[in-house]
Structure 1
Amino acid sequence: MSYKNINTALIHAGIPIDERTGAVNIPIYQTSTFKQDGLGKMRGYEYSRTGNPTREALEALIKDLEGGYAGFAFASGLAAETAVLSLLKSGDRVLISSNVYGGTFRLLNNIFDSFGITYTISDTEDPEAFEKDITADVKAVLIESPANPLMTVTDIRAVAEIAHSHGLLVIVDNTFMTPYLQRPLELGADIVVHSATKYLGGHSDVVAGLAAVKTKELADRIAFIQNSTGGVLPPFDSFLLIRGIKTLGVRLDRHVENALAAAKHLQAHPAVKSVHYPGLETDKGYEVNKKQAKNGGVMISFELTEGHDIEKFFESLELITLAESLGGVESLVCHPSSMTHASIPGEIRKKVGITDGLIRLSIGIEDIEDILADLDNAIAKSEV
């Protein structure tokens, strides 16, 4: 069944009811193997690495939410990316957005490079510049939009059209937006990946990765890789993620409301030098983001003016927690250059604009007045 509104789909899409028992929540099938009724006579499952009813329900859910042919659940976002990048072979090259999650960079720079799969950092914000980076060995493009941590925006449809004209595979990391705010497959992507640890889970209590693909051919290949390499999501974590996704809409509505208020507040603050948030009309990515996403999302990054000690800023926060990750109901803050993007060499961070003064905020669903008061207090105490 298809649903006109994604808020309904979040609750009822995929496999919403256990047909075996009528349970309105898919049970946790905590088993490693399944009884067979005879040689070659299975009841749909044989071994939980290959398939598990709880994980299957989650995979059907992300397939429906992204509008894909099939979905896949992995033990982490990086496990999902590893499976997707395993579609490539030695001698292939992938183009990546100019600022991406540090773990993605590390995966390509330190793992896949050993297998002869290389990468080029490309300015996907500029479709013409992106096309100039396409060489004979380029087989795929990996986009983040908005990108981590500068919130730069890529015109997914424009880049996908160029990429497909050259026979490239288009992969989009949709972690920051989720299918509630942006649907890359409808914009031309072939594969969408998520660190489901973030907004899809929403409560900082599960580590997971998801992928959705557009075609049967890609689904067959990813299914083979998933089963062969084994980085699957366990049943209990699958259950937690299904539960988290049910409230994605109501959570994100509050997240986004708070994020826009915080971005405007920081932009007007005399101690703030710059704010990166595509929901601001002054942001360079605003117009492109507006045509492909529901709104500017939740993530914000900013820099303080000279005369402020960034370490004192972090130490002075009382409500907002200094921690890795993002997307939980609580507000989190991090220092990209020493935390999430520390694996990227300093010269590359500097080239793409990830400065040592950059602060990244994941705005939670607390009362906005408390969030703003905590930011103001920390900024005031950071003055030197």
Structure 2
Amino acid sequence: MNKAKGFTSQLVHAERLQNLEQGAVHQPAHHSVLFAYKQSQELVDVFQGRSKNHAYARQSTPSVNVLQNTITQLEQAHASLVFSTGMAALTTSMLTLLKAGDHVIFSQFIFGNTNSFAQTLTQYGIEVDFVDITNHPQIKQKIKSNTRMLFCETIANPVTQVADIQHIKTLCTPQNIVLVVDNTMTPSYLFNGKQLGADLLITSLTKYFGGHGNALGGVVVDTGNYNWQNYPNILDTYKNAEPANWAITQIKKKGLRDMGASISSEAIHQLSVGSETMALRLDRSCASALQIAQFLQQHDKISQVYYPGLPSHPQHELAKKQFKHFGAILSFDLIDSIDCLEFINQLNLILCSTHLGDNRTLSIPVAPTIYYEMGLEKRQAMGIREGMIRLSVGIEDCQDIIDDLTQALDYFA
């Protein structure tokens, strides 16, 4: 589709090179829910999979296709499906590919909402185990004959444990286990999921892909690594095409069509335009995150900093090998005498917000908010201390962020 080799060059020209009408450089927003055909057989062919045209906007539109094509190109993958949110992409993928009696292994460090959904799976007769994703013998020990999937994040939120995707893949392959990787924290500019062995990639497009905090979206990407002929849960209905398309078709039909987590044309446009600056934003945010982590690590009112870019991080060398940059998320613990809520109240430039991957730097007290429902025991198992603060570093001038942290720390004598 595109002869440009550079990441940003590909991205900013991706839409216009998909034969848009009248020379448009952005895909027009298609608001029609229905699509009419002069010949009834044409609509029949859409329903029966012989045509890639559109039947109903819940499953696809021209706008959806352009965004999916762009993401597939960036990930060097086989196919993509976009959804209304990242959680919709995650939940529908699992609910359509798993059935009662299956077993799934989750990283014990996964984000709170994903952890909550893992608990929901057990209500449908699906076995769930949690493992320390950095402990490879423990992963191997948990694998069973009915294990169908292993789910992890590239960098865990908020303690920043890093999963060795390439090694985990070697544990999954002999058992035909689908390796599902959430790369929201390290989108395609930072991490090559296909090359390292991920079978399905789940990304919240709301975060670094869009970057501006103005549109929700998510995507599941089939990298093409997995042979779906080896997967027992593909319905016969969807085996009338090439095996490479079996899973993505089942997710589309059973997830988008039946569950209806469709993305809007307005969101597609905002995410697409926002994505053009992804590399520029990530270069700046990641560089600032490293400087901020180094600053906090040396401060006498900070007891610990969690960031893969620091040599003291347990997976620092792995992160150097696996990612282009170390990411734009870091967390830290204040010394015991400083209350984390009081500290955040002293910040002026840095916003208190639950979002991440935004142009603005955001802070949040982790334990009483995004991980509150988990309870103390699970938080401790994840390495989350009760006073932990997470920073999502934005694109402001780095010194201004450091100055804001400094004045807030100086408030506590």
Global fold match (TM > 0.5): yes
Q: Secondary structure at the match of 1:303?
A: strand
Match of 1:159, SS? helix
Of 348-357 and 314-323, more deviation after overlay is shown by: 348-357
In the other structure, the counterpart of 2:149 is 140
Asked if residue 236 in structure 1 is aligned to residue 266 in structure 2, the reply is yes
1-structure distance, mates of 2:206, 2:399: 27
> What is the aligned partner in structure 2 of residue 300 from structure 1?
330
Pairwise mapping of residues 53-72 of structure 1 onto structure 2 (< 5 A)? 53-72=62-81
Q: 2:127 aligns with which of 98, 107, 118?
A: 118
Tell me, in whole angstroms, the C-alpha distance in 2 between the residues paired with 1:121 and 1:113: 13
Q: Deviations over 1:262-285 (max 9, x none)?
A: 111111111111111111122111
Which AA in structure 2 matches 1:190?
A: D
Letter in 2 for 1:223: K
Residue pair 1:16, 1:25 contacting (<8 A) in 2 also: no
Structure 1 Cα separation of the partners of residues 403 and 261 of structure 2:
42
Shift of 1:15: 6.3
CA contact (8 A) 1:160 1:170 kept: yes
Cα distance in 1 for partners of 2:26, 2:20 equals 11
Contact 2:16 2:25 in 1 (8 A): no
CA-to-partner distance for each residue in 1:9-43, whole Å, 9 max, x for gaps?
22233664443322111110111112221213359
Q: Measure the CA separation in 2 of the matches of 1:20 and 1:152.
A: 46
Long gaps (5+) in structure 2: 44-51, 225-243
Question: What percentage of aligned pairs have identical amino acids?
Answer: 30
Residues 157 and 315 of structure 1: CA distance in aligned 2, closer, same or farther (over 3 Å): same
Distance change in 2, residues 1:341/1:15 (3 Å): farther
Matched, 1:104 2:114: yes
Of 290, 295, 300, 1:260 maps to 290
Q: SS state of the match for residue 320, structure 2?
A: helix
State whether residues 121 and 128 of structure 2, in contact with CA within 8 Å, keep that contact through their aligned partners in structure 1.
Answer: no
- Distance (Å, rounded) in 1 between the aligned partners of 2:366 and 2:106: 18
Residue 192 of structure 2 corresponds to 183
Q: Which residue, 251, 255, 280 being the options, matches 1:222?
A: 251
Q: How many residue pairs align between the two structures?
A: 382
Conserved 8 A contact 1:18-1:26: no
Alpha-carbon contact 1:14-1:59 (below 8 Å) kept = no
Alpha-carbon distance in structure 2 between the residues aligned to 1:154 and 1:142:
10
Aligned to 2:23: 22
Q: Secondary structure at the match of 1:179?
A: coil
> Quick one: structure 1 residues 382 and 77, their matched pair in 2 at CA, closer, same or farther if it must change by over 3 Å?
farther
Amino acid corresponding to residue 96 of structure 1 in structure 2: F
Q: Give the conservation status (yes or no) of the 8 Å contact 1:63–1:69.
A: yes
RMSD of equivalent CA atoms: 1.6
Q: Partners of 2:373 and 2:184 in 1: how far apart?
A: 20
SS at match of 1:273: strand
**2:374 paired with 1:360:** no
Find the aligned partners of 1:90 and 1:33 in 2 and give their Cα distance.
35
Which residue of 89, 94, 98 maps to 1:80? 89
Counting only pairs closer than 5 Å after superposition, residues 152-231 of structure 1 correspond to structure 2 as: 152-215=161-224, 216=244, 217-225=246-254, 226-231=256-261
* TM-score, length basis structure 1: 0.96
The gaps in structure 1 that reach 5 residues or longer are none
Q: Deviations over 1:276-331 (max 9, x none)?
A: 11111221111111111112011001101121111110111111111111001000
Map Cα deviations across residues 333-362 of structure 1 (whole Å, 9 max, x no partner).
112212222232321111221111111100
Instruction: Look up the match of 1:249.
Output: 279
Q: SS of the counterpart of 2:366?
A: coil
Q: Does the 8 A contact of 1:17 with 1:25 survive in 2?
A: no
- Quick check: 2:296–2:305 contact (8 Å CA) kept in 1? yes
1:95 matched residue in structure 2: 105
Q: Alignment partner of 1:343: what SS? A: helix
Contact kept, 8 Å, 1:16 with 1:26, in 2: the verdict is no
Among candidates 289, 313, 332, match of residue 283 of structure 1 = 313
